[in-house]
Amino acid sequence: MASYKKKFMEFDLNDQGEIDIMGLKMMMEKLGVPKTHLEVKKMIDEVNGGCSDAIGYRDFIKMLLGKRNSIFRMILMFEGKANETPTRPAGPPPKRDIRSLP
């Protein structure tokens, strides 16, 4: 839960305890899926039921763990890609002969 709180606070731009339209827009751009203001507004309305123009922490957790967890899967996918380190073979390359060439 600490990582969820940290992720929430990263996009709470005005420190009000809510992710507003600009915070969610920034989150989607960071994930590589930019959205228009209308698309972001629609996402917020789906998450909180149209109650406000921002996503509270409780709604954020429901969004991540509930039925609408596609954003959470995207966050995990992109974080996983960011943490990947390319593996390089160790040692000298294997010896090749004429028959192994294409």
| pLDDT tens-place string over residues 65-97 | 766 566 666 666 666 665 566 666 677 877 878
Alpha carbon separation from 17 to 2, 6, 12, 60, 91 (Å, rounded)? 15, 12, 6, 11, 52
Q: What is the pLDDT of residue 94?
A: 75
Q: What is the pLDDT of residue 66?
A: 67
Domain limits at 59? 2-81
The total number of structural domains in the chain stands at 1
19 located within any domain = yes
Q: Can you tell me the distance from the alpha carbon of 93 to that of 16, in angstroms, rounded to the nearest whole number?
A: 56
Residue whose tokens read 């709604």: 59
94 located within any domain = no
101 located within any domain = no
Q: Can you tell me the distance from the alpha carbon of 20 to that of 79, in angstroms, rounded to the nearest whole number?
A: 22
The CATH number assigned to the domain holding 76 equals: 1.10.238.10
Q: What is the pLDDT of residue 96?
A: 78
Q: What is the pLDDT of residue 69?
A: 61
In this structure, the number of other CB atoms found within 10 A of the CB of residue 71 comes to: 18
Q: What is the pLDDT of residue 15?
A: 83
Q: What is the pLDDT of residue 10?
A: 85
Find the angle CA(13)-CA(18)-CA(21) to the nearest 5 degrees.
65
pLDDT in tens, 11-46: 888 888 888 888 888 888 888 888 888 888 888 888
